[in-house]
Amino acid sequence: MAATAVLRPLARAPVRRVARTYVTSIPAKPHHRVVIVGGGTAGVTVAAQLQQTPEFENKDIAILDPAQTHHYQPGWTLVGSGLKGLENMHRPMSSVIPKGVKHYPLRVSTFDPENNAIKTSEGVDVSYDYLIVAPGLETNFAGVSGLEQALRDPASQVSSIYSEKTVEQVWRNIQNFKKGPAIFTQPAGVIKCAGAPQKIMWMALSQWKRDGVRDNISITFATGAPTMFAVPKYSQALEELRKERNVEGLFQHNLVKVDPKNKVATFKNLAESANGALVEREFGFLHVVPPQKPWDWVAKSKLADAAGWVDVDKSTTQHTKFKNVFSLGDASSLPNSKTAAAITSQAPVLIDNLLAVMKGKEPKASYDGYASCPLLIGHNELMLCEFKYGGVPKETFADILGGQETPRRLFYHLKKDFFPYVYWNYFVTGNWYGPSGFFKPDVTPKQA
């Protein structure tokens, strides 16, 4: 049973302590059997799982990523809520690169898939037999007028959990705010961890209640979306919670401008009948989730679809045109929620299909769109949203605990304590499979 697998004692799962390979001297034109673009959660996880797969012979993997630090981004909500310190949410990139995998600190500028090559800003051309594209997406703080200026000013009462540079200010602002209008925004369009904009809102509300100032603060959730959440089951529960806790819902309102001096936030009304009307709201506290988009060098490449994401089959993760190219995580066109949890189900599918292609076979492993959003709704409360393609719930604990739209303290501690530990010790080492726990799932579709 999946739930049992998740809760098995950690002592039964081996922790891998390995030496890392960091390239200090880069060949003029390096070639590798598998090149992975991106050293975030998706790139490191798929590298680790592939490296320890017995069927993958002649192991030769390189990761391209200019970053020197690897971040556990789901932990930024915990930092912004005052539950964890930022120092626990990042480690040197060299410490998470799997043993035997080379890391080139190179910045990709262009893909040349017809010639199995990648051009970099540093002038180094890297070639490959197989390519995995997993660079994540861009958080576009410049996409909201005045936002960058506001975030640089601690006195502005504007903050965001969507950057390691701004997340600690969120908790300071929550602690200091005692009275007035508080606005929490969510942009229109695709973002990573679509539950995070309201996680921080619910945690702020809970803290203000603890501090005895909740009645002095009017809270607004201003979202570019038409509902609280994209999955109907959880959206209904969250809408009931919003009304019960007296939070204003400003739906289909997309933040376009911040005036930190006059403390005014300007929104574009996206409702069809509004004709793009602008709406101004005064704030005393403002938490902003910036708009997000594919990296330009991905969007302008031959690998991208019309929207700019890496164009892959939603079941196999294989590129629709270039059969030796795969993608997973936030950069891919997979039409699911962009979360770390989704990668736990995408990675084993990608690896099975990559190995099949290497053997000259058709890819048969199938990804069902699984994603999860551990949605904090207050101290000691969490709604564990799990779902697959089509907004269909796919809940790990439902048979034991009942529907997961009901918040539980157990789920809260999974998010706060269990998942961060698992991430550093099992997830990025290739030994964590989400709902299947420490055991690799069977990703081949069952015959009818």
| Residues known to be catalytic | 193, 373
Give the integer Cα–Cα distance in Å for 331 and 308: 9
279, two tokens = 């709406």
Contacts of 412 (CB under 8 A, 6+ apart): 376, 379, 380, 381, 382
Beta strands in 366-429 (DSSP E): 371-378, 381-388, 392-393
Q: Tokens 């790139």 map to which residue?
A: 43
Helix H or strand E segment including 389: none
Residue 305 CA to residue 316 CA, distance in Å, equals 16
- Work out the end-to-end distance of the chain between its first and last CA atoms, rounded to an integer number of angstroms: 21
Length of the chain in residues, anyone?
A: 448
CA gap 147, 187 in Å, rounded: 13
CA distance 149 to 159: 11
